[in-house]
Amino acid sequence: PALIVFFTISGFLVYRPFARAALTSAPRPASDRSTKFWVYLLRRVLRIFPLYWAILTVAVLWNGPGNLHSFTDWVQAIFLLPIPDPMRLLAGPLGIAMWTLAIELPFYVVVPVFASGVKKGRARFAPASTPFQAQVAALVALIAGIFGLGVVFGGELAFPVMSLPVGMLFAVLETRQALTRRRYPVIRALADNWWLCIAGYVALVFVAARLALDAYDVPGVTDPYAHIRNLYFPLQMSMALLLFVPVAFGRRRSLMVRLMASPPLQILAPLTYGIYLWHVPLIHHTKEWFGEGLLGFPFIGTTGFGMPTIFMSIGLAMVTFVVVELPAAKLRSAVDRWSRGQTSGTGGPADDEPEDEEGSELGGGADRLVEELPDRMWRPDLKAPVYVHNVGEGDDAYSDAEAPLDDVVIDGDHPADEREPALAAAGASAATEVSGLGKRALSRAGEDANPQLRAVWCEPIDGFRAICACLAVIGHTFLATGIIPFAGVLHVLGILVALFFAISAFVLYQPFIEADVRGLPRPAAIGFWVRRLLRIYPLFAFALTAYLLILPEVRPDNWWGYVRLYLFLQIFGRELSGFKGMPSAWYLCNEVIFYFLIPLLALAAARWSTNRRIRKPADRLRAHIMIGWGMVFFGPLLRTLIYAADVPAPTSLPLSHLEFFGFGIIVAGYTVGARMGIAPPSLFRWVRRNTRLAYALVLVPALMLAGIAERWGDGTGLWQDGNMEDRLRFFPYLMAVFLLMAAAAIGPRNDPANRWLSHKRFKPLSALALHIYLWHQLVLGVLNLMLPHGLGELDFAPRWIEVIVICAAALFGTISVAWVTQPLTDWPYERYRQVHG
């Protein structure tokens, strides 16, 4: 019933503003042209046709015109006309997408005419009835009429169209519920028991399948669907409503509502139109490239074009969203402003316009009438804010008490508004915020000339950095000696690399979030890049030179190889992706690319909020968090494409670790929000309440990694690029990073685990973490040269004693070298900080 759900949602969203305008009867100024019929149609045209024409052009050039032969065929396809025969569009360049759009376009034209007709008909024929009664009666009559036409003349077209007025009817019911502050019993029963709806949906799936199979056994039936159409469509409509009602009318705490409102789906939501249009022309080619079948990559051992089509459609939809849809959206916004009498030169929204609310897809005057609803009217589509205590020093407990489910707190009533009434003022407010941070040190990594933009240092990270640096030495010692304690030890130790990526994003992106949500000047990108360069390049160049001088076997074969080594490009060369230069530097190559992107990502989030006139800190914060969730969502998909491309060392490329950087941004956003009194999602609040348990649960992904190595590994403890063992290990990594980062950044400081990680014993090693990581393989190489038979042929004691001795020697040697060279390699960075801040 996907098509029926799609049509129902369209009817619901498109008619919703008209329903609210009809039931509230709010007057508009005489100068407001936004309610004009032609303005509404112009916005619909700007929404539908630019992207459609762009993709249609590509499809015709790529796959040919299909069955478009005559002039009439071309006119019908270009303008999506349902006449003379809408079924001909099914064989057009965009297939089913053209047919559905041709069905919807007349509906867009009919909607305002229908709303106006109901209003005039009620005034003329039933003045005693209420607007709600007139709307419901008209829509029920329309639904019954379309259903009757489908029964009499065949429901191939009529039955799908009937789902549009069904969505309109639910828009009227939703508005009525909002006005009366009361939900209808049937809707409440379905919405609050979503699991029963899912069970009913599954049951109806089996019933429909049984009907279809039985139809094949009827003698003389050549079209089973036509034989059961009059019964099959009501089943499909019921299935669609069982999915639609729990989402549209469900409580905010409902698992189904939260799932549908999850960040990954919100990221995909603006791309759905492009995905829907792109998938049709892609299928012609992905079926040839990937063969028959439903799945395909990333499912090992499967074939098919299904998943590749989805991934490529998402990628192309992102491109056309930026190139086509965003400019069209700006045109729609310009039309909307003009229709309301606003000039483009105005610096902000009009007095009667919500300053932080993005106009809905419909826009126009009908949308704006929603603002006339009573201020404290219950709105089932809005989320009630969560009251939390301001998370500052000494305040280690959230108040998880949420506002009553059926209440909406108006701006100014939220406790956070009283604590920080002038977040937009960059002066005294920001100074007070910094001074209120109290005991926490300010991050060295996040420093800027403006001290108000330093990131708050999360002290347990010192423990993470120190422990992970030492574990990196131990793990590579296992690898160098060939002594593997158990099959998955290297997989388990691989968590530390993912954690390093998340820590970098958490610390470095945080000042940009602070600047945006508090209205402070954004950190200068050039200054940020210069500090990052001075922080890492002297150490990197010095260590790399030492590697090349002391260990001849790691030297590249030509001068171009040397250039790429010193420019952080070794991960992009097949001959350098192995053990050439400094093997562990692949991690730093990934970091450098992310350093370059950080200011650009922050700028994109800030521009997105500014272009939509979003001013509230909580709403501006959401843009940054959505970028992080987008990286988490698309990271595994892009890594799958890298595997499919058969590039050298695929897991050393930045895109292979995108989700870890993204999760660091997410935690940074929720941490900034927590300090402002904005509660993170419930899962993060659970981690805060159960910090020690969260740390203990890291054993779960560790055991999963050991099981993956045992089940799919070859017993050596290593993995081959692209095999099942290699692909599956990233998912436990993300689980471990979530538990560790959430517990450290959002967990209470007085928790015993966080107090232990924050102890001063870890601070010296934490300051040397990068030095240890870059020097340790050189120390292992020197030990290998010093021993007569190398590290792999030790025979002076039992193996476990040998491992302990070599690990101790490697740790001592690495820490000693790092401690001796730190003043020299860190001097340029420290000098720059003294001069420029």
Helix (H, G, I), strand (E, B) or coil at 456: strand
CA distance 571 to 588: 10
Which 8-state DSSP code applies to residue 570?
Answer: G
Q: Which two tokens stand for residue 359?
A: 């106009």
CA distance 706 to 701: 9
CA distance 174 to 490: 55
CA distance 35 to 370: 13
Q: Where is 71: in which H helix or E strand?
A: helix 71-79
CA distance 630 to 659: 8
Q: What pLDDT shows up at residue 223?
A: 66
Task: Provide the residue type at 593 as one letter.
Answer: I
DSSP per position, 520-563 = PPPPPHHHHHHHHHHHHHHHHHHHHHHHHHH-GGG--SSHHHHH
DSSP per position, 575-638 = TTTTTSS-GGGHHHHHHHHHHHHHHHHHHHHHHHHHHTT---HHHHHHHHHHHHHHHHHHHHHH
Distances (CA, A) of 167 to 11, 82, 160, 172, 341: 4, 21, 12, 9, 32
Q: Which two tokens stand for residue 10?
A: 């369209």
Q: What pLDDT shows up at residue 700?
A: 93
CA 577 vs. chain centroid, Å, equals: 30
Distances (CA, A) of 441 to 462, 677, 747, 766: 12, 20, 17, 14
Q: What angle do CA 375, 379, 383 make, to 5 degrees?
A: 105
Q: Which two tokens stand for residue 464?
A: 């993470």
Q: What pLDDT shows up at residue 617?
A: 86
Helix (H, G, I), strand (E, B) or coil at 402: strand
In 3D space, the residue among 727, 587, 729 whose CA is nearest the CA of residue 644 turns out to be 727
Q: What pLDDT shows up at residue 268?
A: 84
In 3D space, the residue among 676, 235, 82, 757 whose CA is nearest the CA of residue 464 turns out to be 757
Domain limits of the chain?
Answer: 2-182, 262-341, 451-836
Helix (H, G, I), strand (E, B) or coil at 294: strand
Please indicate, yes or no, whether the overall pTM of this predicted structure exceeds 0.85.
no
Helix (H, G, I), strand (E, B) or coil at 428: helix
Helices within 717-798 (DSSP H only): 724-728, 730-746, 752-757, 763-767, 769-786
CA distance 428 to 35: 44
CA distance 419 to 416: 5
CA distance 98 to 77: 7
In 3D space, the residue among 708, 825, 728 whose CA is nearest the CA of residue 772 turns out to be 825
In 3D space, the residue among 309, 318, 312, 333 whose CA is nearest the CA of residue 272 turns out to be 318
In 3D space, the residue among 450, 263, 401, 470 whose CA is nearest the CA of residue 837 turns out to be 450
CA distance 650 to 641: 10
CB 240 within 8 A of CB 8: yes
Q: What pLDDT shows up at residue 503?
A: 93
CA distance 109 to 113: 7
Rounded to 10 deg, the angle between the 37-63 and 326-339 helix axes is 170
CA dihedral (280, 282, 288, 289) positive or negative: negative
- Per-block average pLDDT, block size 10, for the chain (837 residues)? 85 88 73 73 89 93 85 89 82 86 87 90 89 92 86 70 90 89 88 89 86 73 66 84 89 83 81 90 81 69 75 88 89 82 49 35 34 35 30 31 30 32 35 34 35 58 88 84 78 89 92 89 89 91 90 83 86 67 84 92 89 83 90 83 75 87 93 86 88 92 88 72 78 92 88 89 88 87 78 65 80 87 87 80
Rounded to 10 deg, the angle between the 495-517 and 460-481 helix axes is 150
Helix (H, G, I), strand (E, B) or coil at 45: helix
CA distance 532 to 537: 8
Helix (H, G, I), strand (E, B) or coil at 300: coil
Q: CB-based contacts of 231: which residues, under 8 Å, 6+ apart?
A: 211
Q: CB-based contacts of 800: which residues, under 8 Å, 6+ apart?
A: none
Distances (CA, A) of 204 to 188, 199, 246, 507: 21, 9, 17, 51
Distances (CA, A) of 160 to 93, 169, 647: 22, 15, 46
Task: Provide the residue type at 696 as one letter.
Answer: A
In 3D space, the residue among 514, 463, 335 whose CA is nearest the CA of residue 763 turns out to be 463
Task: Provide the residue type at 238 as one letter.
Answer: S
CB 585 within 8 A of CB 578: no
Helix (H, G, I), strand (E, B) or coil at 442: strand
Euclidean distance between the first and the last CA atom of the chain, given in angstroms as a whole number: 60
